[in-house]
A and B are shown apart, each in its own frame.
Chain A
Amino acid sequence: MSDRPASDPETTVSSSQEDFDYQHVPAQALDAVRMRLAQLTHSLAKLKDEMSKAELPQWYSLQVQVSVILTQMQSLTTTLHHFEELLDSTVVYPLGTFPTTAHEGLLTTLLRKKNIPEAESWILDAKETAGVDLNTASPEEVKKCLKSDEDVTKWALDFLKQEHSNYAFRGLHTSKKMAEDPSLGAADEYQPSIGRSIPKQPFDVDSILKVIHQGAN
């Protein structure tokens, strides 16, 4: 067999693939995107899984997860943006040796440019929830919407700051008392006694035990 390699169909296919110049395939860009997508899908699947359990996870655990997902999305969009030009200008086509009839399904999936119907409905759902119809809304209206969102966030932050300043979180007096008598908060009257009351080890326990059990000094 080895002396007639040309007659082997598999060898023929592989040799024709070897002929193809992969140098122009944007492997680095695709790999970077793939990596970030994999991370994101993993995190989303985990979150979905936890949300479907009978006992919901603690709020802080959810918050941490969401913030991780946001970071991953951020990272994905940055990556996509970075390779935007390259990926946009890349055209995908099957090689002539691809078994098109045998793997038609795979081929159509790989070459699909439209979103799958499921994803289409999610996008629609998100748009409806946002209350802005992107098809009819003018760019000004969209901007206005975003601005009002930012304003609410800013207001909430300011409110928190204000409330925080109304209370005294240190010392022994309330902020009201301190406002009446500014001298109260001047000195730090409260000194935790922890450091002083922890017993010291006056001797080595093992050496005492040794005298008890063996009489050795």
Chain B
Amino acid sequence: MVLQLCLTSAIDDDSYELCTSTLCNLSGNPPVLFSNFTAMFKPNSSFDIEQTNSKNQLIEQNRLKLCRGVPLDALENDSEKRDYRMLKKFADDDLKGFDLQILQKMLHGSIDVDDMEVDEEKPSEQSWILSISDIPAAGSNRKVSSQAIIESTILSTGGSSPSVIAFLSELGYTLDYQLLTVGVKFNMKHNVYLELSKIWRVEGGEAQQLTKGGFLVKAFVNVAKSTDIKSINHGTNALLHLQKELSGYIDLTIPDRKSMDSRLENLNDI
């Protein structure tokens, strides 16, 4: 169980260039471009699911997050142009030539049998990260958001219905919504990562940008064990230090824990 400590903020499109060079100087590292595709699944709504398990423990219905990297070639095939400035062209819904079909192929696998050369695919092209996150911990005197995430790696899928979506449907989960994230990541001091990202919601072959006019800013530290108090304190202090360092420029704040709750219905909200 990973504990993710985080603080969030936002910047506008016009500040992006100055902001990246500022952060670049601050971190001493160049920004790393990244892109990922997230598919959120929810328990099959036609199922009559109990609120408790066989041990009579309360288990609330929660969404499953399936996540995989998107090749940057698909976003910008000219590798010369592929640096942090690339993001400036994605100010709107339009993904500038990015083929949304790629995402559907990832999820459903190739439907054409002749095209199914699974064995020749690179392992990374079959892998997914499956995760479930709890609602961030409550408490009014918290300085950073802390969310427990349980994560598992799917290396490959097989069978006569080999798509990952087919397996999750057997598991009892159906596709809820899909997101595409493109952003830059900075490796700050003390294992703090800072991401500036643009996020699209993908639906029915169309993409709608959620972060229109700006970038979502997220600074986070991942702590391997939620019981490792020393590392948690260390990470919290590192985040608070960054918050102080950037204050007046990017004001990092604790996000509302309810907005990071991916449970299906917040029936028993604490």
Contact = CB atoms under 8 A, between A and B. Distances in A.
Q: Do chains A and B touch in the complex (CB under 8 A)?
A: yes
Interface in A189-212: 197-203, 205-212
Contact of B199 (A198, A202, A208, A210): A208
B143 interface: no
Interface residues of A, number: 18
5 contacts: A203-B10, A210-B258, A213-B261, A214-B262, A215-B201
B179 interface: yes
Interface string B249-263: 110010110111110
B59 interface: no
B260 A213 contact: yes
Interface class of chain A by DSSP: helix
Contact of A205 (B8, B19, B262): B8
B232 interface: no
Given A199-B11, A202-B12, A205-B9, A215 B259 contact: no
Nearest to B16: A199
Given A199-B12, A213-B260, A205 B40 contact: no
Contacts of A208: 10, 199, 210-211, 216
Interface of B: 8-13, 15, 18-19, 38, 40, 63, 133, 176-177, 179, 199, 201, 210-214, 216, 248-250, 253, 255-256, 258-262
Nearest to B253: A205
A198 to B, nearest CB: 6
A198 B259 contact: no
Contacts of B253: 205
Interface of A: 197-203, 205-215
Contact of B179 (A198, A203, A205, A212): A212
B259 A197 contact: no
A206 B255 CA distance: 6
Given A202-B12, A202-B212, A205-B216, A212 B19 contact: no
A213 B19 contact: no
Contacts of B133: 213
Contacts of A199: 10-12, 15, 19, 214, 249-250
Contacts of A197: 15, 18
Nearest to A204: B10
Contacts of A211: 201, 210
Given A202-B13, A208-B10, 7 more contacts: A199-B250, A200-B15, A202-B12, A202-B212, A202-B213, A206-B255, A214-B63
Contacts, number: 77
Nearest to A201: B10
A198 B249 contact: yes
A205 B15 contact: no
Contact of A206 (B19, B199, B210, B256): B256
A49 to B, nearest CB: 33
A202 B214 contact: yes
A214 to B, nearest CB: 6
Given A198-B248, A215-B177, A203 B261 contact: no
B259 A206 contact: yes
Nearest to B214: A202
Contacts of B249: 198-199
A58 B256 CA distance: 43
A14 B213 CA distance: 85
Contacts of A210: 258-259
Contacts of A200: 11-12, 15, 214
Contacts of A202: 10-13, 211-214
B184 to A, nearest CB: 15
A136 to B, nearest CB: 64
A5 to B, nearest CB: 62
A214 B42 CA distance: 10
Contacts of B10: 199, 201-203, 205, 208
Contacts of A214: 63, 259, 261-262
B170 to A, nearest CB: 22
Nearest to A194: B248
A206 B253 CA distance: 10
Contact of A213 (B201, B214, B248, B259): B259
B255 A205 contact: yes
